Amino acid sequence: MEKRTIPRHIGIIMDGNGRWAEMRGLPRFEGHKRGVQRVKEITEAASGIGVEVLSLYAFSIENWMRPEDEVSVIMGLLEESLKGEFLNFIKEGIRFRVIGNRDKLPGNIKSIIEGVEQATDKNNRLVLQCALSYGGRDEIIRAIRKAINKGLTPEDITEERISGFLDTAGMPDPDLIVRTSGEQRLSNFLLWQSAYSEFYFTNTLWPDFTKEELLEAIHEYQMRDRRFGKVSNSSGSLAGSGGSGFGVRSAF
């Protein structure tokens, strides 16, 4: 795989757990269990090929509206896997962090998250960013509130300042966003940050998603011509040379 064009930041909308279970006549939580099991292989694969940030959409702010028993199964699985993976994060140099609205999370989960975040804070191999109780609009609202509380004036508001108040502050924007299960929407994921992301949609349900398919998504990404509003890099002398785009296809 060509190193130069490995996405620095990949976001994955891990969708389709419920349908995976329903197709097999199983309760939905079995799909969530299987879904959690996929995370390790995908994280290791991303880390192994030199991805810097992997953002996994685990639970949206709208997902709180699901039936109480499903929500509590998901929270239980999360608690279990954080406790189980903690030492592995240390061993693998993974820095774990959560983006999303923590006020809505149960106290025990919140303190486990804080513990894992602090203990892995200095790790620098891969940032594993878990979007939990996350909504892009909610994140933007919280960012605006922070800016107002800091006393920023209208002139102070710039893209950089807004980015700095988001939960993802300091992280590069996602280069590639993958969504499993056939749905082709963002469902409130990284709205601000995805302005120039490339998208990869697959019908594969998240519990069936493998390392091979991640590599396939990256391969497809490497064929894209990222123009960032400019003229293609490969289309002549007027083409801009900035941005992290790479024009591999000729312009049509």
CA distance 164 to 160: 6
Stretch touching ligand IPE by CB under 6 A, among 12-20, 42-50, 88-96, 154-162: 12-20
CA atoms within 13 A on the CB side of 212: 2
For ligand IPE, the closer CB: 187 or 204: 187
Among Mg ion, ligand IPE, none, what does residue 135 contact (CB within 5–8 Å per kind)?
Answer: none
- Is residue 6 helix, strand or coil? coil
Chain contacts with Mg ion (rule: CB under 5 A): 15
Q: Which is nearer to Mg ion, 15 or 175 (CB)?
A: 15
**Does the footprint of ligand IPE cover residue 55 (CB under 6 A)?**
no
Is 82 in contact with 113 (CB distance < 8 Å)? yes
61 binds, among ligand IPE, Mg ion, none (CB under 5 to 8 A by kind): none
* Binding residue for ligand IPE, selected from 19, 110, 211, 227, defined by CB under 6 A: 19
Extract the runs of DSSP E, i.e. beta strands, from 49-197: 53-60, 94-99, 126-134, 176-179
- To the query of whether residue 63 is one of the catalytic residues in this protein, the response is yes
188 φ, ψ to 5°?
75, 20
Query: Is residue 15 annotated as part of the catalytic site, yes or no?
Result: yes
Residue with Cβ nearer ligand IPE (30 or 92): 30
What residues does 60 pair with on adjacent strands?
134
Cα radius of gyration rounded to whole Å, the chain = 19
Q: Which residues are catalytic?
A: 15, 63
Q: What does the binding site for ligand IPE look like in residue numbers (CB under 6 A)? A: 13-19, 57-60, 63, 74, 181, 183, 185, 187
